[in-house]
Every structure is written in C-alpha cells, then in structure tokens.
C-alpha cells in the first residue's frame, strides 16, 4: 500500500505542476497582461512601466518559476477589479464553496447509494422504476428551476428555510439539496449497475451458499466491490461541485468560488481567474488522489496493477 | 411576452402563501441589488447601485430638490459664479464626518483635486474632468476653477460629486474608502463584505440644517442577490423589505401579493443600440450608414413598450432623457418600424442575406432577446454576449465589441451634458468619432448662455440621428416592490431615498 501511495502521490504532483504551467501559460498567451493591467487610456510608457515593474519583460520560464514560488506561499497579487489581494478574496469565498460542496456530496451519497442498492436488489420492480424516474428527473430538470421550486415551497410558502445568503448552516440546505439532486442520478445508476454485476458473480453465490446472512453478503461482500467506481465518480462530482456550482451559487446568492470565477472572467480579472483555476485543479487532483487511495484500500488488486 | 419561470411559479405559491406580515423588524430596511460596485468609492465605480450608496453615505456642496428641481444649500451655505470659469462657495460650519473629522475647505480642495487628477484614474471621468482645480480661500470658503465654461457644474456638484474627509482619504485612498467608507451623509457604513453585503446605520449626528430630512430608519442592510427571481422570493418570504428593477412581468405577479406594494415610474435611464462605426470597429458593417439605418428601422419600439418594457416609459429619438436641460428631438429624423425598408437598406449596403454580429448586453436581458428577434427578422443574426456592465464597457472601449444594448442613467444629472456628450465627444465611450458632432456638443457644453446651449445641443442631437450612429429606443420604467408597511416615494432619478422612508 505504501509503494502504491507513493506512486500515486508522485503522479498527483506531476499533474499539479502541469496544471499550474497550463494555467500560467493560458493567461499569459491569451492577453498582454501589462496592457490589461494598465487599463483603458494608458499610454505606451505606462504599459512599459508596468511591464518592468511587474517583471513581465523577463523570459516566461523565469516568470513562471517566480509565480509558482509566490503561489506556493499563497500570494496571487491583487484583483484588478476589486483592488484587494486575490488570496484574501479567495480565502473569504472558499468556506462557502467548501460547505456547500461537502453538504451536497454527503446528501448525494446518502440518497443515491441506498437507492442504487435497493434498485439492484429488486431489478425491474416498482422500486427500481421509481429510482429510475427520480434519476431521469434529476438529470433532465435544469438545476436553476429546481432551485426556484425549492425556494418557493420551503422558503416562501412554508417559511421553513432561508432563501438566500450563507449566514448559517440552514442557508446551505436548499442549495445543497439542489446541487445534490443534480449529482445523485449518476451515482445512483452506477451503484445499481455495479451491484447488479457483483450480485450475479460466483463469490456472492458462494457466500450465500455457505449460509452468510443476507446483510453480510450485501454489505461486506457485494457493496464493497460495487462502490469502487462510485468512489472515483463521487470524487469527480465533488470537484464539479466545488468548481462548477456557478448556477446554484448565483440563484441562492452564495458568494462562493464558482460565482467569483464567473465574475472574474466577466471583468478580465486574470489574477483571480488564475488563482481559482489553480485551486480548483488542485481540488480535483487531491480528490482523485484520495479516491485512488480509497480504491486501493477497497480493492487490493488495484494496488498491484 | 416572455414570462420568467418565477412568474408562473409565483401564482402557484400564492395559492398557498398566507398573508404577508409587516416586516418592521428592529426598524431596519433590508434591500437588494444585483450589480456589484467594483468599489464603494463614489469616483471608482459607475454602476447604479454605487450612485445610490453614495447618496446615503456622502453629502454634496449643494442639494437639488428632486421635486422642484431647485438648488438648496447643503455643505455649502452660499455660492456664486465669480466669472464664467470660477465658482465660489461659502461652507457650512459644524459638520462632522462619520469618523469625527470636521468638515472645512481642506476637505473640498483635497477631494476635488484628487478625483479630477487623471493620474488618480477615477472611473467616472466625465463627472470630474471639467474641474481644473479647487483652492482654499479661507477655512470655510473655497474656489473651484473650471477648465472652460461649464454651466452644468452645479448639477454635478449636486449629484455625482460628493465630499470626502481629506485626512482620512489621504491615508486610505480609494482602496480604504471601499473597505471602510467615511462620509458625512445620513447613513454610515458599519460593515462591508465586498460583493456580498453592506450594513448601514443611521448617522445620529447628521447635521440638522441639511436640506435632507433626518432619517428615521435605524439600519439599512443591502445584500447582493444576483438573481431577480431570488430577490422576489425573498421579498415574499419577508427576508427583504424593498427591491428595485423588478421586471414588468414579475411586477404584475407581485402586485397580486397582499402586503407588497409595487410602484412604477419613468426613470431617467434611456436605452439604445450602440453601433461602433469608428476606424477600428470590430463590426465594420456599421461603418455603412445604410446598415445603421436598417437597425433603426428594424425595431418596433412601440410594441416593445407594450409587451416587454412596461408602463411609464416612452419612445425616444435622441440620446438623452426628455426632461434634461437641452434634450430635444426637434429636427431629428424618426426611424419608424419598417422591416421591409430595413431589408432593402441592407440589400443596398451589400447584405441581401443579412449578416452575423456579436451583440453585447448587460441588463434587461428579456429586452435584448426581443431586440434579437426583431433584428433576426430583417436578416441580422446576433450572438448574444451577456455580461456585467464593467466588462461590456471595457469591451466597447477596447474595440472588442461593436454592437451593444446600452443604457444610461446620466448619473441622475438633469442636464444633457451628462448624456449624449459622454458618448460622442471622443472620450473613452465614443465609438463613432464624428468631428461635427463633437463640435456641436462642445458648443452646448461650453456656453453659459442657455439659448446658445439649446440650439447647439439640438443640432448635435439631430446630427447623431441623421447619421443613425445609434438606434435610440425608449426610456425605462422602474418597478419597485416593497413591504406595504414601508412608506417609500420613488423619483425619476432612480435614487431611492431611504433617509426619507419610514415604517408606517
């Protein structure tokens, strides 16, 4: 397991470095950063001053090493739009996104794995059809529409939950449900198909034949093997929730990273864009790394391959 | 007519919702906006919400009564034109800023000299670039020298030009003013979470001689809620007490909700389609006057008013708000709705099958979509690029955008110098660059003779219309929705005056 962990960690590190390079190059090749920073109406000498002042006249490789060094220390410069340090804005918005992502993935897993297992235990039953219907609706319904329906029912009509903002944990309930319901169908269907495949295998028949209790067969033998691909998918879904929940964050007025990324792109605020892209990429890398470790633990064969 | 998802859903929700109760909680008004000001410093943002916030935090040298249009003493007790390019002010004694700093000539001099210095890069250049310099005569007497005669100066000093405490501003600068704004106005900021929330508290020390009444609402809480539907839901659930810029279809639905009052009024905000026709335009089709005229003929303004814009608005033919001094459409050609003529003009210009172009927009998306439909009907196929105002403004200024659904509220200044000249005098926002237009508008801006100004503006505005540089559309109505228990009066300048509001 140690050798496997080490290999995965080196791979993750290399991916992180590649992503940071891509992220740096994308911004620097897509626009003249000095011109963008100088702003409208700047004279040629202003632009040259900024180019020298910020070191944009140095070779790209040197600039990259410098940027990476500062990024490692958490320094990303100032936002061109908000005129405050990027690290501060990102730091302020991060907890909102992390809280939303954590609640949403927990909800999605809590909903989809039991339903997936139940559907697999009784394939083609009314229960299976019911979970399929839930999955289809979840995938087909635009998340903003579902969000509005939740708001109207639980916020306006019943008055049970706050509608927008991020002041308390209660504020995260509706957005987390909306986000979870979008992510759940894929996990649910993957659990179902994984379970169906495993339940039909020889070792399950053997387990049953030797008289193990159905619960032991299901949870100890079947589920552990069926969830291997689900772990990887859940990691990707969480990555999506952390980086791509722009719509949900906008509808519920949650000022998290997703909404910040959208604002930054609109305002050509490249230091913020760079920081967020790097951060989200790191989320994905860390989550994939953890999923790999979890899979290695769940299925020892993976460690050998 | 396009109905928003919430308009349908509201009807369903209303069937279940109980009677809304008054939301007078702790004498606070909770309200929402949807465009983040990039900076709360009044000179470093140019969004409407920034203007509204500024009126609550800061004071002006003079005050313009929104009902009578008369100027009244505010931070200045008296003023006079010493000559065509010099204004002199006697300042009020005993006024203190929120941080305790006393107001005097140094504050006026520092504020005006700082913001009018182009090196300090104030975003709202047109509001301050008429100032040459401010000088202290005595501790409570100042002189403002103008670069050239600018009769609208008083209008600006009563509107977008607000006074800062010099010692604090010298130390904090625009960045500090954004983080912790300090003024002398009826409300002080006690908390600012950028892009999220601003909390205000009544300024208990607000100077008694102010032409503005002493505020009675203790606290204001402004939240940024980007989605209009969410704002409406919050209002219905009593999480908010006041919202504005409510889309007409939503306003109709909200009218049916008990305990919510919807009021509409015409605003000073005018709407038009910008067509960049300068040398480096990214949409060279607009260099051809026939194409620009075709765009003008393509849109049915009356039908848009009836269906998507709403009551209390009117069609305009020139780029200014009809009540502004100098605004007229006399002598300006009218481009009536005539799709056949539009197609014919396009064919004559060499586009018998129309053309494709990016259309930039930043607000009232449902109106943009209606325009897209009209344009498509004559063969102009648009790709919508919808973004925040600052991004669209920069795209136009940098020559990346050539076609835009524009709106302008003139910073609530009741003089035409605050509208058309901003877009036609070779400054950053001018995407047409016509010498003749500039010359005429300059004549209007620089004369102190009202009749000379009126004639110059008339010809300038007519020339813009003859050349079809833009497609002027209509003024915008503003719909406000608020708790029935809140006594609130709307004004055409789109500035909610919470210092006047009170709970019934």
Buried b / exposed e along A26-36 (16+ C-beta atoms within 10 A): ebbeeeebbbb
Overall average pLDDT of the B442-453 stretch: 88
Contact in structure between A171 and A162 (CB atoms under 8 Å): yes
The answer to whether A89 faces chain B, any CB pair under 8 Å, is yes
Gap from A177 CA to chain B (nearest CA, Å): 16
Nearest chain B residue (CA) to A266: B391
Contact A164 B236 (CB under 8 A): no
The answer to whether A266 faces chain B, any CB pair under 8 Å, is yes
Query: For chain A, how are helix, strand and coil distributed in percent, rounded to 5?
Result: 80, 0, 20
- State how beta strands B28-33 and B219-224 pair: parallel
The minimal CB distance from B13 to the residues A92, A156, A263 is found for A156
Is the pLDDT confidence value at B34 over 90? no
Gap from B402 CA to chain A (nearest CA, Å): 17
Contact A163 B398 (CB under 8 A): no
What are the backbone angles phi and psi of residue A229, rounded to the nearest 5°? Answer: -70, -25
The answer to whether B174 faces chain A, any CB pair under 8 Å, is yes
Note the pLDDT of residue B20: 38
Rounded Cα distance, A134 and B305, in Å: 43
The minimal CB distance from A267 to the residues B5, B237, B388 is found for B388
Cβ count near B390 (within 10 Å) = 23
Average pLDDT, chain B: 90
Gap from B236 CA to chain A (nearest CA, Å): 6
Contact in structure between B436 and B463 (CB atoms under 8 Å): yes
The answer to whether A137 faces chain B, any CB pair under 8 Å, is no
The pLDDT tens digits along chain A (305 residues) read 778 888 888 888 888 888 888 888 877 777 677 776 665 555 666 677 777 777 778 888 888 888 888 888 888 888 877 778 898 888 888 899 999 999 999 999 999 998 988 888 888 889 889 988 988 888 888 888 999 999 999 999 998 999 998 888 999 999 999 999 988 888 888 889 888 888 888 888 888 888 888 778 887 788 877 877 788 788 778 877 776 578 899 889 888 888 888 888 777 787 888 888 888 888 888 888 888 888 788 777 777 65
Q: What is the value of pTM for the model shown?
A: 0.75
Note the pLDDT of residue B199: 96
The answer to whether B191 faces chain A, any CB pair under 8 Å, is no
Q: Which helix (DSSP H) or strand (DSSP E) does residue B481 occupy? A: strand B470-483
Classified as helix, coil or strand, B470 is: strand
Gap from B427 CA to chain A (nearest CA, Å): 10
Tokens of B70: 């008369």
More confident residue, B494 or B174: B174
Overall average pLDDT of the B280-291 stretch: 95
The answer to whether A112 faces chain B, any CB pair under 8 Å, is no
Nearest chain B residue (CA) to A88: B194
**Test mutation, A39, A42, A83, A257, chain B, max B CBs within 10 A:** A83
Contact B13 A82 (CB under 8 A): no
Q: Which residues pair with B357 in a beta bridge?
A: B382
Overall average pLDDT of the B279-289 stretch: 94
Rounded Cα distance, A113 and A229, in Å: 12
Classified as helix, coil or strand, B308 is: helix
Cβ count near B475 (within 10 Å) = 25
Note the pLDDT of residue B360: 95
Gap from B5 CA to chain A (nearest CA, Å): 7
What are the backbone angles phi and psi of residue B274, rounded to the nearest 5°? Answer: -85, 135
Burial class (CB in 10 A: 0-12, 13-18, 19+), B370: buried
**CA distances to A76, A172, A241, B35 from A258, in Å:** 18, 15, 9, 17
Which residues, numbered 366 to 395 in chain B, qualify as contacts with chain A under a Cβ-Cβ cut-off of 8 Å?
387-388, 390-391, 394
Which residues, numbered 21 to 80 in chain B, qualify as contacts with chain A under a Cβ-Cβ cut-off of 8 Å?
36, 38-39
Contact B10 A41 (CB under 8 A): no
Gap from A97 CA to chain B (nearest CA, Å): 14
Contact in structure between B214 and B206 (CB atoms under 8 Å): yes
Question: Which residue matches tokens 């706050």?
Answer: A162
The answer to whether B20 faces chain A, any CB pair under 8 Å, is no
What are the backbone angles phi and psi of residue B25, rounded to the nearest 5°? Answer: -35, 125
Rounded Cα distance, B429 and B432, in Å: 9
Of B7, B25, B6, B5, which is closest to residue B485 (Cα–Cα)?
Answer: B25
Overall average pLDDT of the B9-38 stretch: 64
Of B184, B38, B30, which is closest to residue B107 (Cα–Cα)?
Answer: B184
Contact B195 A255 (CB under 8 A): yes
Gap from A6 CA to chain B (nearest CA, Å): 42
Contact B5 A145 (CB under 8 A): yes
Cα of B212 vs its chain's centroid, Å: 21
Give this complex's ipTM. Answer: 0.73
The minimal CB distance from A83 to the residues B6, B39, B237 is found for B39
Q: Which helix (DSSP H) or strand (DSSP E) does residue A132 occupy? A: helix A126-140
What angle separates helix B248-255 from helix B5-16, to the nearest 10 degrees?
10
Overall average pLDDT of the B217-227 stretch: 93
What angle separates helix B248-255 from helix B228-236, to the nearest 10 degrees?
10
What are the backbone angles phi and psi of residue B193, rounded to the nearest 5°? Answer: -105, 105
The answer to whether B5 faces chain A, any CB pair under 8 Å, is yes
DSSP of A197-244: HHHTSHHHHHHHHTT--HHHIIIIIIIHHHTHHHHHHHHHHHHHHHHH
Split at pLDDT 50, 70, 90, the class of B281 is very high
Contact B178 A250 (CB under 8 A): no
Give the range among A95-109, A281-295, B338-352, B447-461 with minimum mean pLDDT.
A281-295
Question: Which residue matches tokens 């080196």?
Answer: A10
Could you list the beta-strand ranges (E) of chain A. none
Contact in structure between B250 and B228 (CB atoms under 8 Å): yes
At B141-196, the pLDDT tens digits run: 999 999 988 888 998 999 999 999 999 999 999 989 999 999 999 999 999 988 78
Can you give the length of chain B in residues?
A: 504
Tokens of A163: 């509608």
Contact B391 A259 (CB under 8 A): no
Tokens of A269: 């605020």
What angle separates helix A86-121 from helix A257-266, to the nearest 10 degrees?
130
Q: Is B244 left (phi over 0), alpha (psi -120 to 50) or beta?
A: beta
Contact in structure between B406 and B272 (CB atoms under 8 Å): yes
Contact B13 A165 (CB under 8 A): no
Is the pLDDT confidence value at B16 over 50? no
Rounded Cα distance, B351 and B343, in Å: 9
Split at pLDDT 50, 70, 90, the class of B24 is low
Is the pLDDT confidence value at B267 over 90? no
Q: Which residues pair with B405 in a beta bridge?
A: B273
Overall average pLDDT of the B342-368 stretch: 95
Note the pLDDT of residue B112: 97
Which residues, numbered 107 to 136 in chain B, qualify as contacts with chain A under a Cβ-Cβ cut-off of 8 Å?
121
Split at pLDDT 50, 70, 90, the class of B129 is confident
Nearest chain B residue (CA) to A268: B391
Nearest chain B residue (CA) to A151: B233
The answer to whether A18 faces chain B, any CB pair under 8 Å, is no
């Amino acid at each position: 397991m140690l050798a496997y962990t080490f290999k995965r960690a080196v791979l993750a590190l290399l991916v992180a470095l590649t992503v940071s390079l891509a992220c740096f190059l994308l911004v620097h090749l897509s626009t003249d950063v000095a011109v963008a920073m100088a702003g409208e109406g700047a004279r040629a000498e202003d632009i040259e001053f900024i180019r020298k002042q910020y070191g944009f006249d140095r070779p790209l490789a040197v600039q990259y090493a410098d940027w990476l060094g500062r990024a490692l220390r958490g320094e990303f410069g100032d936002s061109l739009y908000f005129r405050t340090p990027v690290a501060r804005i990102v730091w302020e918005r991060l907890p909102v996104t992390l809280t939303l992502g954590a609640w949403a993935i927990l909800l999605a897993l809590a909903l989809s794995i039991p339903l997936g297992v139940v559907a697999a235990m009784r394939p083609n039953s009314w229960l299976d059809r019911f979970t399929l219907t839930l999955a289809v609706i979840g995938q087909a319904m635009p998340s903003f529409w579902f969000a509005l329906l939740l708001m109207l029912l639980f916020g306006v009509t019943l008055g049970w939950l706050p509608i927008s903002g991020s002041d308390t944990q209660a504020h995260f309930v509706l957005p987390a449900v909306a986000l979870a319901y979008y992510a759940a169908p894929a996990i649910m269907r993957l659990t179902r198909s994984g379970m169906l495949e495993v339940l039909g295998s020889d070792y399950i028949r053997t387990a049953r034949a030797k008289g193990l209790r159905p619960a032991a067969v299901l949870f100890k033998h079947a589920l552990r093997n069926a969830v291997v691909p689900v772990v990887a998918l859940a990691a990707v879904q969480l990555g999506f929730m952390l980086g791509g929940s722009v719509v949900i964050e906008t509808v519920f007025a949650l000022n998290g990273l997703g909404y910040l990324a959208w604002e930054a792109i609109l305002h050509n605020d490249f230091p913020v864009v760079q920081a967020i892209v790097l951060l989200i990429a790191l989320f994905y890398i860390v989550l994939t790394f953890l999923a790999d470790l979890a899979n290695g633990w769940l299925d020892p064969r993976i460690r050998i391959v | 007519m396009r109905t928003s998802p919430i308009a349908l859903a509201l009807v369903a929700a209303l069937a279940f919702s109980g009677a809304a109760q008054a939301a007078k909680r702790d004498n606070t008004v909770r309200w929402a906006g949807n465009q983040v000001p990039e900076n709360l410093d009044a000179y470093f943002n140019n969004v409407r919400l920034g203007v509204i916030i500024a009126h609550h935090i800061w004071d002006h040298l003079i005050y313009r009564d929104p009902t009578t249009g008369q100027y009244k003493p505010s931070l200045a007790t008296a003023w006079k034109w010493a000559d065509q390019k010099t204004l002199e002010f006697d300042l009020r004694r005993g006024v203190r800023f929120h941080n305790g700093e006393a107001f005097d000539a140094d504050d006026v001099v520092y504020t005006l000299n700082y913001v009018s210095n182009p090196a300090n890069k104030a975003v709202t250049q047109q509001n301050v670039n008429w100032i040459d310099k401010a000088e202290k005569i005595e501790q409570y007497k100042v002189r403002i020298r103008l670069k050239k005669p600018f009769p609208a100066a008083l209008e600006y000093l009563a509107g977008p030009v607000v006074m800062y405490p010099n010692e604090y501003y010298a130390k904090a600068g625009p960045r500090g003013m954004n983080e912790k704004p300090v003024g002398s106005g009826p409300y002080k900021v006690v908390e600012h979470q950028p892009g999220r929330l601003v909390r205000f508290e009544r300024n208990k020390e607000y100077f008694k001689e102010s032409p503005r009444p002493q505020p009675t609402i203790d606290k204001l809480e402004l939240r940024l809620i980007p989605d209009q539907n969410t704002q409406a839901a919050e209002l219905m659930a009593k999480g908010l007490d006041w919202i504005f810029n409510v889309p007409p279809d939503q306003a109709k639905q909200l009218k049916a909700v008990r305990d919510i009052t919807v009021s509409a009024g015409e605003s000073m905000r005018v709407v038009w389609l910008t067509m960049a026709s300068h040398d480096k335009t990214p949409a060279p089709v607009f260099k051809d006057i026939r194409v620009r005229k075709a765009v003008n003929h393509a849109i049915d303004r009356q039908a848009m008013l009836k269906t998507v814009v709403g009551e209390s608005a009117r069609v305009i033919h020139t780029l200014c708000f009809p009540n502004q001094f100098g605004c007229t459409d006399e002598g300006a050609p009218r481009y009536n709705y005539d799709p056949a003529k539009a197609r014919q003009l396009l064919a004559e210009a060499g586009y018998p099958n129309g053309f494709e172009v990016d259309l930039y927009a930043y607000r009232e998306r449902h109106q943009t979509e209606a325009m897209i439909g009209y344009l498509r009907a004559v063969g102009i196929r648009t790709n919508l690029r919808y973004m925040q105002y600052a991004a669209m403004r920069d795209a136009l200024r940098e020559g990346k955008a050539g076609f835009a659904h524009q709106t302008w509220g003139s910073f609530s200044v009741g003089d035409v110098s605050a509208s058309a000249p901003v877009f036609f005098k070779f400054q950053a926002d001018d995407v047409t660059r016509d010498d003749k237009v500039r010359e005429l508008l300059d004549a209007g801006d620089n004369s102190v003779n009202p009749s000379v100004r009126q004639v110059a503006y008339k010809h300038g505005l007519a020339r813009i219309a003859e050349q079809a540089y833009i497609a002027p559309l209509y003024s915008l109505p503003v719909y406000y929705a608020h708790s029935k228990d809140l006594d609130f009066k709307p004004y055409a300048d789109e500035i909610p005056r919470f210092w006047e509001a009170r709970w019934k």
